[in-house]
Amino acid sequence: MIRLLEQAGKRPLTKEELRQLIEGYTPSLADEAARRAVAVRRQVYGDAVYIRGLIEISNICKNDCYYCGIRRGNAACERYRLSDEDILLCCEHGYALGFRTFVLQGGEDPAFTDERLCGLLTEIKTRYPDCAVTLSLGERSRESYRRLKLAGADRYLLRHETADRRHYETLHPQGMSYDERFRCLRDLREAGFQVGCGFMVGSPGQTADTLAQDLLFIQDFRPEMCGIGPFIPHRDTPFADQPAGSVELTCYLLSLIRLLHPTVLLPATTALGTVAEDGRERGIKAGANVVMPNLSPADARSKYQLYNNKLSTGAESAEAVELLRQRMAKIGYTVVTDRGDHKKEGLTYGNV
């Protein structure tokens, strides 16, 4: 196993080798993977932890993903949509707090047309030319992605959710398609975005085999960003009674992803901070290097419930950057105030 850890990132591992690493999980193997992941990350990004201000712009969604609390079919979800003014106020507030990346995330809300988003992007980029804007608004057409990029968006997060076709079909209703999801990722890259994919750890039906497929995809696609966090059940979804994913496996996978793809920007996600009080720190210690505190208006935070008990206060809130800074300093990391762009391959790992 140690031999495989050693070779990760030096040559492409096969699906079988990736499966062995996943099935071979033990706490001591995970410690070894984390130790190596931290060393590799240090070479590329030093001790920097990048922060992104997350603005949840709408919980209205036309999709019905079985795992998600804001799915269309959840009648108990109280819906909201921020106005452009609300969003610009969040940016203003976030800028003052030191954020230089704003992440606009939401359900697939048809009110956010290309026209509206392009207008909003132009406004944000005019007011804050030193900031990056990341979008996380789901599946759109190739033309739409192209327009959003031209209007100034820098990055796009679209988790692939699972790289196994059959598993994908058990997480989503008919009408949502695996091929379409991956078409979007390719189009995003072609449009010039820094692209993020990712998946939930412990989603119903996930196996060592589907996880190996996820790692294989990441190793091959080499996304600039990769969001992984534990699945957490939401009471008003078909997966209400399914168990949550574990912190341990999430952290181990963070380490493996860092080893397979040293330059990736890897968040310690809110979901990880939700399943364990010290989840964010454990994610960073496993090889993550990004945190995304919540900048949404208070009212939106409580309504953007992808899963139950989602954190949005304390160190998860943007207001508490100082607290986050202290928590990261305690484990030897420095929260930095800059855009925190992806470092290109070749300039970094192996060469610094």
Q: Which residues bind ligand SAH (CB under 6 A)?
A: 67-68, 105, 107-108, 136-138, 158-159, 161, 200, 229, 231-232, 234, 271, 306-307
Q: Cα–Cα distance between 178 and 183 in angstroms, integer?
A: 9
Cβ proximity to ligand SAH: between 9 and 198 the closer is 198
Cβ proximity to ligand SAH: between 68 and 251 the closer is 68
CB of 112 to ligand SAH, least distance (A): 11
In sequence order, the β-bridge partners of residue 133 are 102
CB of 159 to ligand SAH, least distance (A): 4
Cβ proximity to ligand SAH: between 223 and 262 the closer is 223
Q: Is residue 200 classed as helix, strand or coil in its secondary structure?
A: strand
Q: List CB contacts of 203: < 8 A, sequence separation 6 or more.
A: 67, 161, 162, 167, 171, 231, 245
**Total H helices, total E strands in the chain:** 14, 9
Residue 110 carries which side chain, given as an amino acid letter?
P
CB of 174 to ligand SAH, least distance (A): 17
Q: Cα–Cα distance between 327 and 284 in angstroms, integer?
A: 11
Residue 325 carries which side chain, given as an amino acid letter?
R
Closest C-alpha among 40, 47, 23 to residue 255: 40
Cβ proximity to ligand SAH: between 136 and 255 the closer is 136
CB of 290 to ligand SAH, least distance (A): 15
Cβ proximity to ligand SAH: between 40 and 213 the closer is 213
Cβ proximity to ligand SAH: between 162 and 289 the closer is 162
Q: Cα–Cα distance between 158 and 121 in angstroms, integer?
A: 18
Whether residue 69 contacts residue 88, with contact meaning beta carbons closer than 8 Å, is answered with no
CB of 54 to ligand SAH, least distance (A): 10
Question: Tokens 């709408």 belong to which residue?
Answer: 58
HEC-encoded secondary structure of 156-177: EECCCECCCHHHHHHHCCCCCC
CB of 314 to ligand SAH, least distance (A): 19
